[in-house]
A and B are shown apart, each in its own frame.
Chain A
Amino acid sequence: MALALVFAVSAASLALEALLARYFALTQWHHLSFMVISIALLGFSASGAWLNLVAGGRRWRAAHLASPGGVLRAMQRAAAAMAVTSIAMFVVLRLLPLDFFRIPNEPLQLLFLAASYLACAVPFFFAGLVTAIAFAAGNQRPGAVYAAAMAGSAVGVLLPLALLPLAGLRAALVIPALLLLPLAVRPGAAAAGGGAGGRRGRRLLPLLVLPAAALGAGMVLAYPAMEPRPGPYKYLAHMLRFPDTREISRHDTIRGRIDEVAGPTIRFAPGLSLGAGIVVPAQRALVRDGDAALFVAEPGGAVERGPNVISWLDAIHPAAAFHLGPAPDTALVLQEGGGVLLAAALHAGSRVTVAEPNGIVARRLRELPEAATALLVVQDEPRALVRRLARRGQRFGAVLIEDWGASLAGTASHTQEPLLTVQAFRDYLAVLEPGGVLSVSRRLLLPPSNAPRLAAVAMQALPPEARRAAQDHLAMIRNWDSFTLLVSPRPWPAAEVASLRSFAARHGFDLVALPGLRPDEPNRFNRLAEPFHAHAVAAVLETMRSAATTTATTGATPQRRSQATAALAAGLVDLRPATDDRPFFNRFVRWNRLADYQRATGGRLYGLLLSGDVVALAVLAEALVLALVLLAVPWLRAARRPAAVPSTAPVGYFLAIGAGFILMELMLIQRLTVALGDPVVSFKVVLGALLVWSAGGGLASERVAPRRAWLALAAAAAVVLAYTLAGSLAMPWLLGLARAPRVAAIVVLLAPLGAAVGVAFPLGLRLLAPEPATRALAWAANGCASVVGAVASTLLAVAQGITALGLVAVAAYACAVLVAAAVRNRAAPPRQDARS
């Protein structure tokens, strides 16, 4: 029964974690999964600290840990509290006017942040308490408890996948608690313990009816207040304030909430020429998580087609690829919102293949009239689809990428953009027909950052011989707030250059890059004090061309490449090309140039302050303070007690393996976002797989003698190192698989890693924490490292790359090896654990 409770609570708490990430993705600007993990682990850590304090007392130990019945009762109470507080948590979150990205502008938000952080940690405190009691009681084998916790967590990871589409986000928030309650209030102590405890349990049964009824009533009352709403500054909130604008449908999925909105004022036409003279027809918006929207034609308003039909789609610069010559017969569209490229390609008469990972959006696209003839919608991650198409030898006349970013500047700086990395561009170029063109459209930013970085990505993706003649392969065209980059694997033919020049002049677009660009062309119609964008792009192209040329002559590839990279990172903003290891395309901030940035932008710092860095730093500061308090109190208490092993050893060991595990886990989540297309999906798949395999490792650890723990730890560190260094090699193969086999392959590939790191915790308990209080301290230390590690990892990844997380994880495991090796002969002999 105790193991079943550990399993159920672990399932509920992991489901809650995934749902919290979904909740934040909808209500805030980011899924904040790093913070969710940190919050959960703070709760777990606090439970260990609390247990350490109370378990030291004889009376409490006699009442709760002396008999199996007492243990079970304590666990059931904690489980019931977890169920209740998880509901309360969402009510509190809904009532708090929290907006993370207002923190730099509104100090009060720090208070809201602290309040929400603590409110969220409470249910995880009780969840952690259930497991911590099971560990501390010592009447369960640590390996079995660990396995139950990990297996339950794995189930909990999967739960929202089913709950969200069936019940919607709000109901899904309640269901884990409801599933937990029967187990939590059942007088299980009677069954488990019998005797006096059991009789008392039966006598108390009627008394449980009242709190259960009150709880039920409370849930009914709280339910309306739990409806998650997108932030008031998000695009959806703004859109719905217009008359006659309404939601047609709403669907919750693990990949986001999709609201379909219709109204007479919805018209999206970025990059439209001022001289078009055409009213853009009303559209429908498919809004993901309240902000990123995909716009499609109103039903019945199919895209106009044919050479004689003049449409607004002829007068947008994102459609420049269709004005270089005869329209390409085939086009591959990869879009992160937007929709104008899809419409333009259909309008131009191309046969279009579009990748859409979200099932709801894919279904809606298949309802377009063109789906019967000219449109193929593939429900898959764009990167994976491109890889598969390349493998099949399929080629396209144009590959069109559209990604307009979040509506609020700076909020996407910690968001991974797998579509805009060097590796992604290489894949796009691989599926182009000879003479084909790659086109990418985005918003313009000042100081120039978006456009030159994209040019750098494209340059890096081109083969070295093309890089040496950079200006012959790239073209860029812009209006006042957006730009389109065109890349040709072969040098641009003169006829196409002339066509693009004519298209730009006709529609009042400025040329930013083009073979033979004239000095008056970059700042002709959409004027800045200087042609900043053209200068920045030219500088990037020259830097990379020069690096490629020198490399060809001297052969000093790594040095030249690093010099070129350093040059791109040395400016006012960081312009290094985004890679799969640093896929944070929207992060340009260089904190050491902040004062210069402020001067250069006339005092406008907000775009930077709004960046994810500020949010992550604020969360890190709070997490650090809380973690230190939670660790220091029980540690100081433990230090006063005589023990065979000094308390620094277990604290050091469990801090190290906590940090190692969380950093390794977050490295995998971030890295596999490329293959799985969505960070929340990656979070679920990676976590689920790791937990299952760690459970196996936990069970296997029982066969390892504690004095040999350091060997097992060393093996774990070696496996983590291997995955860190060689993991990205598997990416091309993974991307080439269809969706289901890809997920299955990831789960299987993680088996050795999960099993290897799964031994660390239970083995450490047997080696270093024979007493209940020390076990609780171990639980607290493990949680504290994870609390801080989860938040710190996001800052480390954006600054140094995802691989750096794995390397720090290896270092952490190496520290654990040292501790285990140092105490292997001094540790208390392993106790004979009672079997359940």
Chain B
Amino acid sequence: MLFGNHIPGHRRCRAPEARTFAGAPLLAVAALLLPLSPALAQQPAAVAATEHTATIRARSAMVERQLRARDIDNPRVLEVMGRVRRHLFVPERMQGSAYRDSALPIDDGQTISQPYIVALMTQQLALEQDDRVLEVGTGSGYQAAVLAELAGEVFTIEIRPLLHEQSKQRLAALGYANVRAFEGDGYFGIEQHAPFDHIMITAAIDHIPAPLLEQLAPGGTMILPLGNPFSYQNLVLVTKTGSGSSGADYTVDLILGVLFVPMTGHALQN
């Protein structure tokens, strides 16, 4: 008996397609702007036109061993995870570990989630090309970049000013024009841009904030992790089945089998 649901997506994803990255033409401009960007200045090779073979291989191995070998089977998600350069979203000192099967520390005491968690949460949302997505907790911006590759518009909000600034500049430099980054308390969402087709919360919480539920479009989905912030244990997928006026207007699916690898103690201190 296996405890939990292993839901590949509550809506079927579309067939795989070789979708080109919308912001690709901006990459060259972004590369020129690189020296002006404090967030990227710490990463000399950040957006170099050519990528080192080793990182390409590491990313490919990540997709095969950490994602496909588990239960990530959405071809679009796999393709995007194989394309977004995760090492550009971690501090320079951690770049060698960017494709490890674990969360990693970023600035301000925060973490970038384990690749598998990013892929699993993304897969659960079953994004369509025109979807509007709210991400609560921008962090490094990596998850927002992955979402931006799969959805129409991504709104991301971060409460910590330092992380907000860094991720905003990083995402802009990498050409993610369909990402709009906000600074503020994600508990209240971004009312002026509601409703959202999907909401992703990337921090463990004990209750789901009412403003976020209100900003979720009918039929929309929300995903969030459970557990200690440094070692998520399960994921929760909320579907708004009605108007949202009572608890019966929502269903919650627990997605288990999350093989989490918490960030290690000494890594946090370094």
Query: What are the interface flags for A406-448 relative to B under an 8 Å C-beta threshold, 1 for contact and 0 otherwise?
Result: 0111000000000000000000000000000000000000111
Report which of A97, A108, A233 forms a contact with B228, defined as CB distance below 8 A.
Answer: A233
A591 within 8 A of B: no
> B246 touching A602 by the CB < 8 A rule?
no
> B208 touching A97 by the CB < 8 A rule?
no
| Bound-complex Cα distance A511 to B106 (A) | 41
> A408 touching B228 by the CB < 8 A rule?
yes
> A270's closest neighbor in chain B, by CB?
B206
Give chain A residues whose Cβ lies under 8 Å from the Cβ of B161: 243
> A232 touching B268 by the CB < 8 A rule?
yes
| 217-270 of chain B: CB within 8 A of chain A | 226-231, 233-234, 236, 238, 244-254, 256-262, 264-266, 268-269
> A238's closest neighbor in chain B, by CB?
B229
| Number of residues on chain A facing chain B (CB within 8 A) | 62
A251 within 8 A of B: no
Q: A106-B265, A532-B3, A602-B2 are in contact. Are A275 and B259 (CB under 8 A)?
A: no
> A601 touching B257 by the CB < 8 A rule?
yes
Give chain A residues whose Cβ lies under 8 Å from the Cβ of B265: 97-99, 102, 106, 109, 231-233
| Bound-complex Cα distance A277 to B160 (A) | 26
Give chain A residues whose Cβ lies under 8 Å from the Cβ of B231: 233, 408-409, 606
Give chain A residues whose Cβ lies under 8 Å from the Cβ of B174: none
| 251-301 of chain A: CB within 8 A of chain B | 264-265, 267-280
Give chain A residues whose Cβ lies under 8 Å from the Cβ of B229: 233, 238
A248 within 8 A of B: no
B5 within 8 A of A: yes
B214 within 8 A of A: yes
Give chain B residues whose Cβ lies under 8 Å from the Cβ of A277: 210, 213-214, 244-245
| Number of residues on chain B facing chain A (CB within 8 A) | 56
A114: shortest Cβ distance to chain B, in Å? 15
Q: A272-B207, A273-B247, A507-B246 are in contact. Are A106 and B264 (CB under 8 A)?
A: yes
- Of A367-375, A523-531, A735-743, which binds chain B? A523-531
Report which of A105, A238, A265, A527 forms a contact with B251, defined as CB distance below 8 A.
Answer: A527
Q: A525-B252, A606-B262 are in contact. Are A481 and B230 (CB under 8 A)?
A: no
Give chain A residues whose Cβ lies under 8 Å from the Cβ of B260: 604, 606
B198: shortest Cβ distance to chain A, in Å? 16
> B5 touching A265 by the CB < 8 A rule?
no
| Bound-complex Cα distance A529 to B256 (A) | 10
A237 within 8 A of B: yes
> B256 touching A508 by the CB < 8 A rule?
no
A250 within 8 A of B: no
Report which of B1, B6, B253 forms a contact with A600, defined as CB distance below 8 A.
Answer: B1
> B159 touching A105 by the CB < 8 A rule?
no
A509 within 8 A of B: yes
Report which of B109, B188, B259 forms a contact with A604, defined as CB distance below 8 A.
Answer: B259
Give chain A residues whose Cβ lies under 8 Å from the Cβ of B109: 232, 237, 241
| Bound-complex Cα distance A525 to B251 (A) | 5
> B266 touching A108 by the CB < 8 A rule?
yes
Give chain A residues whose Cβ lies under 8 Å from the Cβ of B252: 274, 479-480, 508, 525-527
B110 within 8 A of A: yes
> B159 touching A275 by the CB < 8 A rule?
no
| Bound-complex Cα distance A231 to B269 (A) | 11
B206: shortest Cβ distance to chain A, in Å? 5
| Bound-complex Cα distance A504 to B256 (A) | 24
A242 within 8 A of B: yes
> B206 touching A274 by the CB < 8 A rule?
no
B188: shortest Cβ distance to chain A, in Å? 8
> A506 touching B247 by the CB < 8 A rule?
yes
Give chain B residues whose Cβ lies under 8 Å from the Cβ of A604: 233, 256-260
Give chain A residues whose Cβ lies under 8 Å from the Cβ of B108: 241
B16 within 8 A of A: no
A247: shortest Cβ distance to chain B, in Å? 16
| Bound-complex Cα distance A296 to B4 (A) | 34
> B247 touching A528 by the CB < 8 A rule?
no
| Bound-complex Cα distance A479 to B1 (A) | 22
> B206 touching A269 by the CB < 8 A rule?
yes
> A601's closest neighbor in chain B, by CB?
B3
B96 within 8 A of A: no
Q: A243-B159, A527-B252, A607-B233 are in contact. Are A270 and B3 (CB under 8 A)?
A: no
B185 within 8 A of A: yes
> A445's closest neighbor in chain B, by CB?
B233
Report which of B3, B208, B233, B249 forms a contact with A528, defined as CB distance below 8 A.
Answer: B3
Query: What are the interface flags for A477-488 relative to B under an 8 Å C-beta threshold, 1 for contact and 0 otherwise?
Result: 001110000000
> A508 touching B246 by the CB < 8 A rule?
yes
Report which of B5, B209, B226, B257 forms a contact with A481, defined as CB distance below 8 A.
Answer: B226
> B161's closest neighbor in chain A, by CB?
A243
> A265 touching B3 by the CB < 8 A rule?
no
B35 within 8 A of A: no
| Bound-complex Cα distance A527 to B4 (A) | 9
Query: What are the interface flags for B184-206 relative to A under an 8 Å C-beta threshold, 1 for contact and 0 otherwise?
Result: 01011000000000000000001
| 85-103 of chain A: CB within 8 A of chain B | 97-99, 102
| Bound-complex Cα distance A716 to B187 (A) | 63
Give chain A residues whose Cβ lies under 8 Å from the Cβ of B230: 232-233, 238, 408
> A603 touching B159 by the CB < 8 A rule?
no
B161: shortest Cβ distance to chain A, in Å? 7
B211 within 8 A of A: yes
> A480 touching B266 by the CB < 8 A rule?
no
> A480 touching B254 by the CB < 8 A rule?
yes
Q: A241-B109, A241-B110, A243-B159 are in contact. Are A602 and B6 (CB under 8 A)?
A: yes
Give chain A residues whose Cβ lies under 8 Å from the Cβ of B250: 274-275, 508, 525
> B246's closest neighbor in chain A, by CB?
A275
Q: A241-B160, A272-B208 are in contact. Are A529 and B4 (CB under 8 A)?
A: yes
B119: shortest Cβ distance to chain A, in Å? 15
A25: shortest Cβ distance to chain B, in Å? 17
Q: A232-B269, A479-B252, A480-B252 are in contact. Are A602 and B259 (CB under 8 A)?
A: yes
Give chain A residues whose Cβ lies under 8 Å from the Cβ of B248: 275, 505-508, 525
Give chain B residues whose Cβ lies under 8 Å from the Cβ of A243: 159-161
30 CB-based A-B contacts, threshold 8 Å: A97-B265, A105-B261, A105-B262, A106-B265, A109-B265, A232-B230, A233-B228, A243-B161, A274-B244, A275-B247, A279-B210, A280-B207, A280-B210, A408-B227, A408-B231, A409-B233, A479-B252, A481-B226, A507-B248, A508-B247, A525-B251, A526-B251, A527-B252, A530-B1, A532-B3, A600-B2, A601-B257, A603-B257, A604-B256, A604-B258
Q: A265-B187, A527-B5 are in contact. List 6 more A-B contacts (CB 8 A).
A: A102-B265, A275-B247, A525-B251, A527-B254, A602-B4, A606-B231
Please give me the 5 A-B residue pairs with the lowest Cβ-Cβ distance, nearest first.
A508-B247, A602-B257, A275-B247, A507-B247, A99-B265
**Which positions in B face A, CB cutoff 8 Å?**
1-6, 108-110, 159-161, 185, 187-188, 206-211, 213-214, 226-231, 233-234, 236, 238, 244-254, 256-262, 264-266, 268-269
**Which positions in A face B, CB cutoff 8 Å?**
97-99, 102, 105-106, 108-109, 231-233, 237-238, 241-243, 264-265, 267-280, 315, 407-409, 446-448, 479-481, 505-509, 525-530, 532, 599-604, 606-607
